[in-house]
Amino acid sequence: MTDRTESREKLPVDAPRSASRRLLFRTAGASAAGVFAPKLATGQVLPPPRPPSPPTTPWAEELPVQQPKSPESSLSPTPIGTLGEGEAGRADHQAWAGSPAQLMYKIDVKVGSHRFHPELPTQEVWGYDGKVPGPLFHARYGQPIVVRFRNQLPSSVQGYGSPDISVHLHNLHTPSESDGYPEDWFSATACGPTLTRAGEYKDYHYPMVYAGGDSKEALGTMWYHDHRHDFTAGNVYRGLAGFFLAFDGLDSGNENDPNTGALRLPSGEFDVPLMLADRYFDSGGYVSFDQFNQDGFIGDKWLVNGKVQPYFHVAPRKYRFRLLAAGTARIWDLQLRYQNRVQSFIQISSDGNLFASPVLRSNVVLGAAERADLVIDFSRFPVGSELFLTNRLKHLDGRKAEVDLLPTPDQLLKFIVDRPLPGPDNSRVLSRLRDQPTIDMAQVAATRNFNFGRSSGGWTINDRLFDGRPICTPKMGTAEIWNLRNTSGGWAHPVHIHFEEGRILKRNGIDPPAWERGRKDVFLLGPNENVQVYLRFRDFPGKYIMHCHNTIHEDHAMMARFDIVA
C-alpha cells in the first residue's frame, strides 16, 4: 500500500459510495508512531502486553490556557457563497445569502512541534495552525463567520492517519456543506467522492443561527476536529482538535454584563476550557498509536490541554470549566478531591447545552466527545489548598470501562488556590439558566430503530457497514424518535448525531436523571443499553452523519448517513 491513499473515483456530489473498500488503515513501515499486533473485534487474536509509557513526574508544567483567535482583516481570494478559486469542490453555501460572513478566520492545518511533558522529547504533531490543542474560537449568535481551512499537511505520511482532511464543528447547527461530512475530505491533489475537485483550502460557513430560530436551542461549548473518512481516530490522535465557544445575550461571556437578562457566569480568565485526552508513549517517549485495534485505543498518560498532568493556579473565587472528553475510546468518571475527600461542584450544561437549572454533582461521567460545563467555587478552600481533578474509572482496553472502580483514582490536574483575588467576584449561578425547547410529540413523523453492533468483520448500524448510502431521510420541519440500541454486548458506544441536538425521553425504559434531561448530541450506550431520543430537523437540507464517537469504531464503519429532505 502506498503512503498516500487517494480516492480517484469521481461520482456525482452526494452520490453513495461503494462498500467494497474496507477496514484497513495504511502504514508505511516502522516509525516513532509504533504499531502492535492486531486485535480483532471478535477477540480471536490478542496483542502481546505492551510496556507502560515512560515515567513522568506529575505537576511539572502549568496548564496552558488559550486566548481567543483573532479574525483576519481580509482573505484572498475573498470568501463568497459559490466556489472560490483554488477551493476544494464543495456545494454552494446555502445560508450565505441570508447570513453572509461578518468575520473571517484562517487556519493552516500543518505539522507542528509539541512537548507533552518536560521529561518527554519535543515531537512532531499535526495541528490547526500547528498547535495542540488548536486555536480557541469565540463566536456569537447573530454574527456569521467563515473559517478558511488550508491543508498544508505533507502528502507522504509514515505511521497512522491521512493527510486529507474534513473539519467537523461539533455540534453547531450548520449547513451540510460545512458540517465536515467524512467523505468531503480534500487536499491540494485529491478529494473525497462527495466533492467535485481537489483544492488547497475549503471555506466553512458558520451562519451562527439558532436551530429553528429559537434561542432555547443555543449551544455554548463545542469543539472542532478532523472527520476524514476511515482516518478520524489517527488524525485526531495526532492533534487535530480545538475548542469553539459560542455566546449570546443570555450566556454573554461577561460576568459584569449590565444587561439584567444575562446570566453573568464566570468569564474571561475564569472561563477555562479543559480538553481531556489519553496518550500512550513508546520507550523513546514518542506518541504511539495502535491503528489495527478495532476495540478502541487506550493510553496511560493523562493530557489536559495537551500537557501531561499539569497544574493550575486559581484565585479563591468561582470558575467555569468546560470539560471535553477528546480521547479515542476512554470513558471518564470525574471527581474533584481535596485532602482525598470528594467535593461537590455545580454542573450547568451537557454537550454545550445549558440546563434549565443547575445540578449539584459529586461526579460527572463523560464518554468520548461528551462535554460538561462545571462551576467550582474555590473560595470554599483555604489559601494554599491543593485540589485534584481525578478519574476513577478503570479501563483494561478500549471496549468499555470496568465495573470495579480504581482503588486510587488517577489524578489529571492539580488546582493550587494561591492566586491573589484580582477584584470582586461578580459571577453567579442562578437557579434558572436556559429554558428548554418544548418536546412536541404531535410533530413526530416517524420512529426509527438503530442497532449498534458487530458483523461482517466490522462495526455496524442496523447490520450495515458505512457505505455512503442514506439509512433514512427525515423530512425538514418534522420531528422523529430514534431508538438507539447497543446490541454488541461487551462494548460501549458513545453515539453522536450531527447537526441537531436531541432530548432523551427514556434510558433503558426509565426517565433520565436530571443531568440528562437537557439537550445533547452524544448518547453514551453501555453494553446492552438503549436510549430513546427525540429529534427535530430544521433549516438546512442535506447529508449528515450519525456514528459511534469511539473513533476506532467510527473508522471501522460504525457510521450511517442520513439525508434531511425538503
443: three-class secondary structure by DSSP: helix
The predicted model scores a pTM of: 0.92
pLDDT at 397: 85
Q: Are 224 and 170 in contact (CB under 8 A)?
A: yes
Q: What domains can you pick out in the chain, each with its CATH number?
A: 441-564 (2.60.40.420)
Q: Per residue of the chain (566 residues), give pLDDT as tens.
A: 333 333 323 333 333 333 333 323 323 333 333 333 333 344 445 556 789 999 999 999 999 999 999 999 999 999 999 999 999 999 999 999 999 999 999 999 999 999 999 999 999 999 999 999 999 999 999 999 999 999 999 998 989 999 999 999 999 999 999 999 999 999 999 999 999 999 999 999 999 999 999 999 999 999 999 999 999 999 999 999 999 999 999 999 999 999 999 999 999 999 999 999 999 999 999 999 987 888 899 999 999 999 999 999 999 999 999 999 999 999 999 999 999 999 999 999 999 999 999 999 999 999 999 999 999 999 999 999 999 999 999 998 888 888 889 999 999 999 999 999 999 999 999 999 999 999 999 999 999 999 999 987 789 999 999 999 999 999 999 999 999 999 988 899 999 999 999 999 999 999 999 999 999 999 999 999 999 999 999 999 999 999 999 999 999 999 999 999 99
Instruction: For residue 1, give the C-alpha cell.
Output: 500500500
Strand-pairing partners, residue 109, are: 128, 151
Amino acid at site 51: P
DSSP for residue 306: T
96-153 residue pLDDT tens: 999 999 999 999 999 999 999 999 999 999 999 999 999 999 999 999 999 999 999 9
Nearest residue to 393 (alpha-carbon basis) of 403, 381, 380: 403
Task: Measure the CA angle with vertex 285, ends 281 and 289; round to 5°.
Answer: 30
416-428 residue pLDDT tens: 999 999 999 999 9
